[in-house]
Amino acid sequence: MLARYVRILKSPGSYGVRVDYQEDDDGLVHKRADIVHSAAALLEKCHLIKYERSSGRFQSTELGRIASHYYVTHNSMATYYQHLRPIMSTLELFRVFALSNEFKLLPVSIPQNSCQIDL
């Protein structure tokens, strides 16, 4: 993390830091605050944290702790929050989990024998 910060200070344009940040903010304090605010707002939108904008404080929610413990992306957690219900069939549950980003690149093979076809 420190190496990235040093690289941003040496070459801010390469990391999307606009000129207006560079002129007024040598240590990029405002830029870093903007990055933290954007990330916190996104996590709050996904119900992973509670974000108090006035003080800049945030607190993890139960969903946020689950996501961090199991390395689940914020997009997947937002999907779960939106689609999961207290009572669901197994098929419905699999459909929700199939919407996860973690499963998007999972290859699906064509069944080749009768046992696989039956499954």
pLDDT value, residue 10:
82
CA 46 to chain centre: 8
Domain boundaries, the chain: 46-103
List CB contacts of 54: < 8 A, sequence separation 6 or more: none
Interhelix angle for 29-45 vs 74-83, to 10°?
30
Backbone dihedral angles phi then psi of residue 26, each to the nearest 5 degrees: -65, -40
Helices (H), 11-109: 19-24, 29-45, 62-70, 74-83, 90-98
Which CATH number applies to 46-103?
1.10.3380.10
- Answer left, alpha or beta for residue 11, where phi above 0 means left and psi between -120 and 50 means alpha: beta
pLDDT value, residue 41:
95
pLDDT value, residue 80:
95
pLDDT value, residue 64:
96
pLDDT value, residue 63:
95
pLDDT along the chain (119 residues), means of 10: 76 77 75 89 96 93 96 95 95 92 79 62
| Model pTM score | 0.74
pLDDT value, residue 22:
63
pLDDT value, residue 114:
63
Q: Could you read off the pLDDT of 36-58 as tens digits, one per residue?
A: 999 999 999 999 999 999 998 99
